[in-house]
Amino acid sequence: MSQVNEPAAEVILEARNITKRYPGNVALDGVTFRVYRGQVNVLIGENGAGKSTLVRILAGAEMADEGALFLEGRPLALHTPRDAAANGISIVYQELLALTNLKISENIFAGREICHAALFVDQAAQNQRSAAALRHLRKPMDVATETGRLSLGCRQVVEIARALDQGSRILILDEPTSALSVSEAESLFEVIADLKRAGVTIIYISHRLHELLHLGDRFTVLRSGRVVGESTRATATRAWIVERMSGRKEGANDASTAISPARPAVLTVSGLTLPGSIGDEAAQAALHDVSFDLFEGEILGVYGLLGAGRSELVEALAGLRPIASGAVAIRGQNVRTGSVRDALRAGMVLMPEDRQRDGLFPELSIRENVVMAAKTGPILLRDEETKRVRKLAAELHIAAKDIELPVTTLSGGNQQKVLLARCLMCSPSVLLMDEPTRGVDVGAKAEIHGILRKLAAKGLSIVFTSSEIEETQALAARVLVLCQGRISAEFSRAQLSDEGLFTAASPSVAAAANPATARPAGGPA
C-alpha cells in the first residue's frame, strides 16, 4: 500500500498507531500518519473518515486513547493546544473561530498579547506585526477593523495570519479554501508555496480534489478511521484518490439538462440594483442593474469571485436585503420584495451559505429543523409532520437514524440536506442556493448535485451561486458571471469553459471586454 520511500523525505511529525474512540464509534483505528518536513502533506477522506479527529489530536485539542506522537523522532505529549503551539504546531480550523467582537490585530494576538511590563497590551506592536503577517499573506487589511465585519474569506485569512505569526513550523489547514473565492484561494496557494520554501511543513485538508492535486506532495487517504492509501505527488491521480476515499469508482455524472427553449420564464429580474453599504470594505459589493430570466426546470449558476455580489443577489431575491430599484416577477406577476415572508409567499426560498450561522437550529430535532419554514395550521400535527419529514428524508437520502435526534448529530452533508428539505417543504417555485455544497465531502456533494438535477427535471427552477468553477460546471445548465455587482457574461452549457468563466469574473479583463461580445447569445431566451 505504501510506496513512500524517497530518500530525501524526512519525517518531522509522526502519529503512530493512533486510536480514538467515541461512544459507539471508533473515530480512528490504529492510524499511522507521517508528516514530511517542508512538504504539503495532504489528508483526504470523506466526512466522518476521521481527518478532523486526527488533526485535532495533532493540534493538542484532543488526546488519543492509544498510540503516540513523535516530533523529530522524540515522543511528544500534547495536552492542550498551547502545548502544540509551544512545539511549533498550529491549526486553522474549518469552522471559523474568529472572535467577531474584536479587531483583526486583537484576534491575531488573542491569548498571547504582547505586553509592556507584563501588564499593558502593546497595541502598536500588535498592529504592526498583524499588518506584517497579513502582508505576508498578500492580503493587507486595516488591522483595526472589527473581525465581525469581515467576510468569511477574510476571517479565514486572519486565522491563517494568526497561525503564521506564532512562528509555526507545522501548520495544519483544515479546509482553508472552503470559504475562499478562486482568487483568494490562488493567493493562499502562493502563500503555501512561500511557506514551503521557508521550510514550514503544511498539513492540508480539503475536499477540492483539483486543489489537492495541485498542492500536495504527500497524500494520505482515510476511510472509516483507517489509512487506506498513501502516495506521493508523482503517483497520485484524481481517480486514485476518489476510489480510495469512497471505495467506489468516480462516476461521470454529467447527464445534465439542456432546457428546451419552449419553457416559460418562472423568475424575471429586471434592473435589480442594491444600495452599497458604506464604510464596510467586506460587504461593499452591491448590485447594479442586474437583469435575467430563469426558466422552468432550469439550473442557473451564478459565478463570481468573492465580493462580486453573488450572495447579495440571492439574498436580495430571498428578501433579506432591501433593494434600491428594479423589479422581480414570478411568472409575469411582480412580487413585493424586501421581506422574507413576501419572498416565501411568492415561492422563493433561500438555502443560506453558512448553515451554522443562518440555517440550523442546533437545539432542535431533525424533524423540527425540516418543518420550520413550512406552512402550518393553528395547531401542529406531529404525525403528519413525521410522515412528511420521513418521506423527504428518504428522497434526499438523509442518513438519519431517528428524525427526533438533534440536527447536530448529523454530518455536514446531511445537515445540508436537512436545509434542502426545509426549502422543499415550502414547495417553492424558485429555489435559491448560496454555495449549495460548502463544507461538504465529495460523496455528499455529488449526491446533492444529483438531487438538484432530479428536482430540476421535475420542473423546479434553481438559482445557485458558487465560487467553485468545478461545481458551476458540474451543475449549471446556464451560467451568469457577476463581476463587481454587474453581470459580465452569460454562458450556456455548451459554451462553458474554465478559461471563459475565470476571465469574465476577473475585474480588469471584464471591464475591458465589450459587453456585446462578452455576453454570447446563450441561454434559452
Partner 1 sequence: MSSVTPTQPRAKRFALASARVVLLLLRARAILVLLLLLFLFSALVPEFLTANNLSILTKHVAIAALLAVGMTFVVLTGGIDLSVGSIAGLGGMVAGYLLTQGVSFGGATHYPPVAIVVLLTICACLLVGALNGWLVAKAGVAPFIATLGTLYIARGAALLISNGKTFPNLGGAESRGNAGFPAFGQSFLWHVPTPVWMMVALFAVAWVVATKTPFGRHVYAIGGNERAARLAGIRVAQVKITTYVFSAFCAALVGLIIAAQLEAAHPATGESFELNAIAAVVLGGTSLMGGRGSVTGSLIGAFVIGVLADGLVMLGVSEFWQIVIKGVVIVLAVGLDQLQTRLQARILPYLTTASIEEGHS
Q: Binding to partner 1 by residue 228, rule CB under 8 A?
A: no
Choose between 95 and 186: whose C-beta lies nearer to partner 1: 95
E strand intervals along 297-392: 299-304, 325-330, 333-334, 348-351
- Identify residues 268-327 at the interface with partner 1 (CB under 8 A): 318, 320
- Segment interacting with partner 1, rule: CB under 8 A, options 56-64, 291-299, 350-358, 489-497: 350-358
- Identify residues 421-450 at the interface with partner 1 (CB under 8 A): 422, 426
- Residue 497: what are its φ and ψ, rounded to 5°? -150, 150
- Segment interacting with partner 1, rule: CB under 8 A, options 144-152, 184-192, 356-364, 476-484: 356-364
Q: How far is the CB of 91 from partner 1 (least distance, A)?
A: 21
Choose between 329 and 426: whose C-beta lies nearer to partner 1: 426
CB distance 489 to 519 below 8 Å: yes
Residue 102, CB half-sphere, CA atoms under 13 Å: how many? 15
Per-position x/- string for 163-182, each x denoting binding to partner 1 as judged by CB under 8 A, each - no binding: --------------------
CB distance 161 to 131 below 8 Å: no
CB distance 444 to 410 below 8 Å: no
Q: How far is the CB of 172 from partner 1 (least distance, A)?
A: 23
Choose between 213 and 372: whose C-beta lies nearer to partner 1: 372
Choose between 72 and 363: whose C-beta lies nearer to partner 1: 363
Our measurement of the distance from residue 164's CA atom to the centroid of its chain's CA atoms, rounded to an integer in Å, reads 22
Q: How many CB atoms lie within 10 A of CB 246?
A: 19
CB distance 163 to 136 below 8 Å: no
Number of residues that bind partner 1 (CB under 8 A): 38
Q: Binding to partner 1 by residue 195, rule CB under 8 A?
A: no
In our burial notation (b when 16+ CB lie closer than 10 A, e otherwise), range 172-188 reads bbbbbbbbbbbbbbebb
Q: How far is the CB of 342 from partner 1 (least distance, A)?
A: 9
Q: How far is the CB of 434 from partner 1 (least distance, A)?
A: 11
Listed in sequence order, the residues at least 6 apart from 517 whose beta carbon sits closer than 8 Å to its beta carbon are none
Q: Which three cell numbers stand for residue 39?
A: 512538504
Nearest CA to 519 among 483, 485, 481?
Answer: 481
- Identify residues 7-66 at the interface with partner 1 (CB under 8 A): 22-26, 48
Q: Binding to partner 1 by residue 402, rule CB under 8 A?
A: yes
Taking the C-alpha atoms of residue 330 and residue 332, their distance in angstroms, rounded to an integer, is: 5
- Segment interacting with partner 1, rule: CB under 8 A, options 80-88, 152-160, 303-311, 367-375: 367-375
The residues binding partner 1 (CB under 8 A) are 22-26, 48, 224-225, 318, 320, 340-341, 344, 350, 352, 357-364, 368, 372-373, 376, 378-380, 401-402, 405-406, 409, 411, 422, 426
